[in-house]
Amino acid sequence: MRRQRWYTPYLLVLPGVVWVFGFALWPFLNTVVLAFTDARPLRPVSFVGLANFQKLFDDERFVYAVTTSLVYVLVCVPLLTFLPLLLALLVHAKIPAIGFFRTTFYFPVIASAVVVAIVWEFLFSGSGTVNAGLKFFGLVDRPVEFLSDRWLLIGCAIGLTVWKGLGYYMVVYLAALGNLGRELHEAAAMDGAGRWRRFWSVTVPGVRGPMMLVSVLVCVAAMRIFTELYVLSNGSGGPGGRAMSMVMLIQSMGKGLNGQVGYASAISLVLFVMTLVPLAVVGVVNNQDLIREGAAERRMRRAARQVTRTEAAA
Amino acid sequence: MTLIRTRRSTTTPPTDPARPAALRRTDRPYRGGGSVDLMKPTLGGLVGKYGVLVVMLAVMVFPFLWQLATSLKGATENIYEFPPTLVPQAPTLDNYREVFRTIPVLDYAWHSLLVGVGTVASNLVFATLGGYALGALRFRGKGIVMAVFFSTLLLPGEVTLTSQYLTVKSLGLANTLWGVFLPGAVGAINVLLMAAACRMIPSDTLDAAIIDGANTWQRLRHIVWPNVRGMASVVALFAFIGAWDDFLWPLVVLSDPAKYTLTVGMQYLSSNFAANPRVIAAGTMVALIPIIVLFAVLQKQFFRGVEEGSVKG
């Protein structure tokens, strides 16, 4: 049943393939090569081996950037794994006007990070609403400079990321909750399981797969963080650039005529390896059963062989 | 916590066999005394639920409403007072006039729109074509092509940022909108999503069309497209939002403030004209309102697409 010319499918996928090669694989290979050079704009390029990577360890900006990104990951992953699940449970019920709530909870997701970061900047600036509130309740005498302290700035950015991400991951969970039957809930309730117990023993195991997916997505997204920190610090990366994320460092290293393209590529490569870690962990965890089964099977086979051997000997 | 406690006290299993639970189910949004429909809250639970929902609503939309209020407040009104006011005493459009005078907001919006519409159009066309080939046709090397598409999903755009810029520059497109648009013109994820949608088309239908003598174009137009429209709308919406909201890539590509897109323009406005937050707020509203309206109009389509298990992640 093939009434098309043999080349039709190839023509159809050609644009996609060209784009993937031109704007994903080629730049990636280029990054790998550049990471071992001292490339700068308008200058001859020469290979420098691992010099860029050696430089990384002595570069305190890189250490700060990695620290920022890792703290971001450590705080964001638990928050954005559980809070959206609770939110999804909240909007999962079929009650009147729930569609309105779902839609508005999604607004922060579709708004540009720049726009909401500017709002955040107003809220948390020295004269901003949050400080006015703190003063109103008499908690502080002098305004807290949220945006010019390294950790407070990172905290504000994390708050922004969590607030903006809630709706996105809520939708991921919603799709999963739709597939979760009510029978288990009813059976558990019959056995006298309370609401809290059912959440931990029915809902959470039921959405285990999506939960893994969400925590990996959050993990990778947190490592790629850029806009929030950039806008909140006005592009400076906080005091002394110590609140820079890795992507901010890449961007600031690679830009302009003095850009250290080779060095920026080396940082990019480190970032890439870091984003692969959570994926690898999930791969191992998901295939744990397979691995264990494989091991068990091998043990069984060996035992069987031994049995036959002893029988043959006897 | 109160919500949980009130609910727990009423979730005891029914003990009265004379009243079968099935008969007690009603269309009320809450659960009555003897009902065991666990998916419905009790009346108290329902009220508590709406309470929590309203609190969350406040958390999620307060920043937007506050920003909107700020953009409408006059120069004499305190914007940072506490408790914050969401209704300006004397609403004025002066800030909007001011922001249009300070930076070319309309040009920026036009640039964002061009990039957004271009991204949607090219993604829809090429992802549908590629998705059809990968999802519904058989050809040699399909597995390799699929593997290539899947492998790019592991590659964050930030990693290739520097060399992506070198590529675009070598094409002579640095500091142009074409340079902003081009790398996102065909997304691997979109091709894969469309392939998943095309796989759902019953092969009998396609075979029947072939017997009727329909050529590839006619099959795409009359059979494939009507079947994958739901997924296409999700792809289109995400492509548009992605392009409209993108910041890092336009920031890297564009160096001339006259060519900025809205997001880069807003950052430029906020870091260079910080004197008047009301004006900046007006600028951010220009960037925010179109995308919110677009989403509000298309949200039914979107959530239906998501329920079909097609979330983009």
The 10s digit of each residue's pLDDT in A219-254 is: 999 999 999 999 999 888 888 889 999 999 999 988
Structurally, how many domains does chain B consist of?
A: 2
Identify whether A42 is part of a domain.
Answer: no
Say which residue the tokens 């092969």 belong to.
Answer: B203
The number of beta carbons lying within 10 Å of the beta carbon of residue A289 is 9
**Which CATH number do you get for residue B269?**
1.10.3720.10
Average pLDDT over residues B21-40: 59
Global ipTM: 0.86
| pLDDT above 50: residue B4 | no
The domain of A223 spans: 52-268
**CA nearest to B290 within chain A:** A111
Q: Determine the pLDDT at residue B38.
A: 59
Residues of B in contact with A111 (CB under 8 A): 64, 245, 288, 291-292
| Closest by Cα among A66, A23, A25 to A274 | A66
The domain of B170 spans: 100-307
**pLDDT for A148-165, tens place per residue?**
899 999 999 999 999 999
Say which residue the tokens 């005529």 belong to.
Answer: A257
B186 and B268, same domain (yes or no): yes
CA B194/CA B231 separation, integer angstroms = 7
Of chain A, the percentage scoring pLDDT greater than 70 comes to 98
**Which CATH number do you get for residue A111?**
1.10.3720.10
Average pLDDT over residues B14-43: 58
**Would you place residue B39 in the very low, low, confident or very high pLDDT band (cuts 50, 70, 90)?**
low
**Would you place residue B5 in the very low, low, confident or very high pLDDT band (cuts 50, 70, 90)?**
very low
| Closest by Cα among A163, A207, A159 to A185 | A207
Of chain B, the percentage scoring pLDDT greater than 70 comes to 84
CA A185/CA A247 separation, integer angstroms = 44
Q: Determine the pLDDT at residue B190.
A: 93
Question: Which residues 10-69 of chain B have a CB within 8 Å of chain A?
Answer: 11-13, 29-30, 36, 38-41, 46, 49-50, 52-53, 56-57, 59-61, 63-64, 66-67
The two tokens of residue A278 are 């959570």
Say which residue the tokens 């997701």 belong to.
Answer: A109
Tally helices (H) and strands (E) across chain B.
Answer: 15, 0
| pLDDT above 60: residue B24 | no
The answer to whether A66 touches A271, Cβ cutoff 8 Å, is: no
Identify whether A106 is part of a domain.
Answer: yes
Structurally, how many domains does chain A consist of?
A: 1
CA A116/CA A122 separation, integer angstroms = 10
B58 and B116, same domain (yes or no): no
| pLDDT above 90: residue A195 | no
The two tokens of residue A285 are 């965890």
Identify whether B218 is part of a domain.
Answer: yes
Lowest mean pLDDT among A113-117, A283-287, B102-106, B182-186: A283-287
Residue A68: CB partners within 8 Å, gap ≥ 6? A154, A229, A242, A243, A244, A245, A246
B127 and B267, same domain (yes or no): yes
Q: Does A194 touch chain B (CB under 8 A)?
A: yes
**pLDDT for B246-301, tens place per residue?**
999 999 999 999 999 999 999 999 888 767 889 999 999 999 999 999 988 888 87
B232 and B278, same domain (yes or no): yes
CA A102/CA A90 separation, integer angstroms = 10
Q: Determine the pLDDT at residue A97.
A: 86
B109 and B168, same domain (yes or no): yes
The answer to whether B235 touches B193, Cβ cutoff 8 Å, is: yes
Question: Which residues 231-290 of chain B have a CB within 8 Å of chain A?
Answer: 241, 244-245, 247-248, 251-252, 262-264, 266-267, 270-271, 277, 280-281, 284, 287-288
Q: Determine the pLDDT at residue A226.
A: 95
Comparing A288 with A19, the larger pLDDT belongs to A19
- The overall average pLDDT reported for chain A is 88
**Would you place residue B33 in the very low, low, confident or very high pLDDT band (cuts 50, 70, 90)?**
low
The answer to whether B134 touches B198, Cβ cutoff 8 Å, is: yes
B15 and B118, same domain (yes or no): no
Q: Determine the pLDDT at residue A238.
A: 85
**Would you place residue A1 in the very low, low, confident or very high pLDDT band (cuts 50, 70, 90)?**
very low
CA A206/CA A196 separation, integer angstroms = 15
Identify whether B157 is part of a domain.
Answer: yes
Q: Determine the pLDDT at residue B16.
A: 47
| pLDDT above 90: residue B18 | no
User: % helix / strand / coil in chain B, to the nearest 5?
Assistant: 70, 0, 30
B290 and B236, same domain (yes or no): yes
Identify whether A67 is part of a domain.
Answer: yes
**Would you place residue B9 in the very low, low, confident or very high pLDDT band (cuts 50, 70, 90)?**
very low
CA end-to-end span of chain A: 62
**pLDDT for B99-139, tens place per residue?**
998 889 999 999 999 999 999 999 999 999 999 999 998 89
| pLDDT above 70: residue B41 | no
Average pLDDT over residues A263-284: 92
Suggest the residue from A8, A14, A18, A20 to mutate for an interface test with chain B (most B CBs closer than 10 A): A20
- Write b or e for each residue in B270-298: b if 16 or more Cβ atoms lie within 10 A of its Cβ, otherwise e: beebeeebbbbbbbbbbbbebbbebbeeb
The two tokens of residue B237 are 């919406």
Q: Determine the pLDDT at residue A222.
A: 94
Contact B188 A119 (CB under 8 A): no
Q: List the single residue in B4, B245, B248 with the smallest CB-CB distance to A251.
A: B248
B36 and B182, same domain (yes or no): no
